[in-house]
Amino acid sequence: MQYGLRRIGKIPFDINRRELYIYSGYRGKNVPDEPVEKLIDECLAELDEQADPKAVLRTEAIVRRSPGDFSIGDFAVKSEALGKNLFGCHAAILLGATLSTSIDLLLHRYSKLAITKSVIMQASAAAYIEAYLDAIMDQLREELKPEGLSLCPRFSPGFGDFGTEYQPAFLEAVDAKRYLGISLSGESQMLVPTKSVTAVIGIKGDNHA
């Protein structure tokens, strides 16, 4: 594995439609009818055309002071939950990704003019960025496999005691404003563009585990 910063642009991926149904509020036997399926297709086609998915990955060694107090490179964290997630990991990836502002324009458009479509677009865009991140992780897994390394699940600021107050430092660490155009909106510390993700991914040596 290589430490340091890398950027990834558009790569091929498949959307998990079941996940998209769940994001749209369909659960169990409750499945979308034909008009909704058509809307989903429309939304995914628009996303394909408009989205400009981008990610920055920064791989750094983990330096632990205690299980819940550690640094990933110079990104210092105090979080039991993230510490637990990174148990057994010697390194971690700080990942920032976005679908870009063009998707916010679509979301804004439909929230004003077509409320049903806006719900489906929200769900589709969420499934879209998740699928993009899954594809990035698949690619990383392939790269790490020969070295006997594997990845932990993504862990984002806002999970457990890994609070959103870490967002500013996280964005700084991956130079998110410059390379992804991600910033924080006002007081709420929400990421803008809204379809953006920050996450920590632990790297584990199978032989160390």
Residues that bind other proteins (CB under 8 A): 3-5, 7, 9, 52, 54, 58, 60-61, 73-74, 100-102, 104-105, 108-109, 112-113, 169, 172, 175, 177-181, 183-186, 192-193
CA 131 – CA 154 distance, rounded (Å): 13
Give the angle 154-158-164 at the CA atoms, nearest 5°: 120
Residue 144 vs 184, nearer CB to other proteins = 184
Beta bridge partners of 6: 57
CB of 154 to other proteins, least distance (A): 20
Q: End-to-end CA distance of the chain: give it in Å, rounded.
A: 17
Residue 17 vs 90, nearer CB to other proteins = 90
3-class SS of residue 154: coil
CB of 28 to other proteins, least distance (A): 35
Residue 31 vs 63, nearer CB to other proteins = 63
Residue 3 vs 87, nearer CB to other proteins = 3
CB 63 within 8 A of CB 27: no
